[in-house]
């Protein structure tokens, strides 16, 4: 199967190139960028020297759909809204990594993204690819909306508790931290090395566009879920997200019971590893891999749960989950091309 990557100069795009180049079923056919034409990818990314001879090309939807079986869209939000429909010709399947097709409610999109939303028909067609909880729909999807990095960690961390109605759905607080690759390749003072090194910052307080995405999915599972508090921080690391999640238990429940519930929920999901009770994952323990590791505690003093979920934001939080979804969309083994171990240390 031939795959194209659009938006190949961003960090999500470059990670797709890495994964597709060693995938047993997909072949990386061509790479595109809105800002380049016939420029070697190595100009931007010298680590690709001699191993990625493909030039970056101008985006030509017709050519792409004629030549490729699947297109990965790793473009900034705003671009997928109009590119996606054009790419759905000729039976080409589309996996969109942007935020454009995630929110079903266009008012939400306008409010949080401050951009014009996609057409209703496009949004309707888009399947939300939180793989572990939507495998059946993903199987039949032509247009896949890949979840955001923070929502992936948060939702995988909350799913079993929400679905089992174990926690109070009105008091969920998520304190999330991300490595700076999540902020992309665009230059800014915030992530200038001398300013971010040995630093730690909170940003977009109560204003992050991933809030409605998380709430939409939580409410799909349990319509009584109230507005969440969700904070995002920047860690002085390259890759990795940790979501530390707090919620009161609905009824008293022991840590053992909650842990059991999580083990059960993810027993068939290769990429979600529920850690033994008492053990919590560090972000480095999933670096470079598609795993989401989860640790759990219930504090008897407070009757509150603490749930910790970690992912590599460029893998399970972006390119890795996109490949996982594409695998399922094409009937390939879900883990194909994704069995690499975390890089440790």
Both tokens of 133, joined, read: 């909880």
Q: Strands across the sheet with 173-179, in order?
A: 201-203, 229-235, 173-179, 241-248, 304-311, 292-299, 272-274
Least distance to a copy of itself from the beta carbon of 337, Å? 11
Three-state DSSP at 63 gives: helix
| 242 interacts with a copy of itself by CB under 8 A | yes
- By CB under 8 A, the residues from 277 to 316 that bind a copy of itself are 279-288, 293, 295, 297, 299, 301-302, 304, 306, 308
* Contact yes or no for 141/329 (Cβ under 8 A): yes
Q: Binders of a copy of itself among 93-152, rule CB under 8 A?
A: none
To a copy of itself, the closest distance from the beta carbon of 168 in angstroms equals: 10
The stretch near a copy of itself (CB under 8 A) out of 47-55, 75-83, 136-144, 153-161 is 47-55
Binding of residue 89 to a copy of itself (CB under 8 A): no
333 binds a copy of itself (CB under 8 A): no
| Phi-psi label, residue 198: left if phi above 0, alpha if psi -120 to 50, beta otherwise | left
DSSP labels, 311-339: E-TTIIIIIHHHHHHHHHHTT--TTTT--
What is the SS3 assignment for 268-284? CCCCEEECCCCCCCCHH
Tell the smallest beta-carbon distance from residue 82 to a copy of itself (Å). 28
Beta carbons of 64 and 32 less than 8 angstroms apart: yes
The region of 49-57, 65-73, 149-157, 324-332 touching a copy of itself under the rule CB under 8 A is 49-57
237 touching a copy of itself, by CB under 8 A: yes
Q: Which of 5, 8, 17, 127 binds a copy of itself (CB under 8 A)?
A: 17
List binders of a copy of itself among 170-229 (CB under 8 A): 171, 173, 175, 177, 179-181, 183, 185, 187-189, 191-203, 205-206, 226-229
Closest separation between CB of residue 154 and a copy of itself, Å? 14
Residue tagged active-site, from 52, 68, 149, 292: 149
| Tokens, residue 201 | 């910052």
Which residue in 110, 135, 114, 133 sits closest to 123, CA to CA? 110
- Residues 249-278 binding a copy of itself (CB under 8 A) are 273, 275
Identified binder of a copy of itself from the candidate list 89, 120, 256, 343, rule CB under 8 A: 343
Residue among 275, 272, 284, 281 at smallest CA distance from 320: 272
Q: Which of 4, 41, 48, 123 binds a copy of itself (CB under 8 A)?
A: 48
φ and ψ at residue 56, rounded to 5 degrees: -75, 130
In the residue annotation, 149 being an active-site residue is answered as: yes
Catalytic residue numbers read: 149
């Amino acid at each position: 199967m031939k795959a194209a990557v659009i938006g190949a100069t961003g960090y999500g795009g470059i990670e797709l190139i890495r994964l597709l180049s060693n995938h047993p079923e997909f072949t990386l056919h061509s790479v595109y960028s809105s800002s380049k034409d016939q420029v070697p990818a190595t100009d931007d990314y010298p680590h690709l020297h001699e191993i990625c001879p493909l030039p970056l090309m101008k985006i030509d939807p017709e050519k792409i759909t004629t030549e490729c079986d699947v297109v990965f869209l790793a473009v900034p939000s705003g671009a997928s809204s109009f590119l996606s429909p054009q790419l759905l010709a000729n039976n080409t399947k589309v996996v969109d990594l942007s935020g454009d097709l995630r929110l079903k409610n266009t008012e939400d999109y306008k409010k949080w993204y401050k951009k014009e939303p996609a057409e209703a028909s496009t949004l309707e067609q888009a399947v939300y690819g939180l793989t572990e909880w939507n495998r059946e729909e993903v199987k039949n999807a032509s247009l896949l909306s890949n979840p955001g990095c923070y929502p992936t960690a948060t939702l995988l961390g909350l799913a079993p508790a929400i679905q089992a109605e174990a926690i109070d759905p009105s008091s969920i607080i998520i304190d999330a931290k991300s490595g700076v690759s999540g902020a992309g390749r665009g230059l800014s003072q915030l992530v200038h090395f001398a300013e971010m090194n040995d630093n730690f910052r909170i940003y977009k307080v109560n204003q992050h566009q991933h809030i409605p995405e998380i709430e939409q999915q939580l409410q799909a599972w349990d319509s009584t879920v109230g507005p969440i508090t969700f904070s995002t921080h920047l860690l002085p690391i390259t890759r990795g997200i940790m979501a530390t999640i707090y919620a009161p238990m609905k009824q008293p429940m022991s840590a053992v019971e909650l842990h059991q519930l999580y083990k059960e929920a993810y027993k068939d999901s290769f990429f979600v590893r529920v850690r033994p009770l008492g053990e919590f994952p560090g972000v480095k323990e999933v670096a470079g891999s598609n795993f989401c590791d989860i640790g759990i505690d219930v504090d008897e003093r407070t009757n509150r749960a603490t749930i910790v979920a970690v992912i590599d934001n460029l893998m399970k939080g972006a390119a890795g989950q996109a490949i996982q979804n594409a695998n399922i969309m094409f009937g390939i083994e879900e883990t194909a091309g994704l069995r690499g171990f975390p890089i440790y240390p």
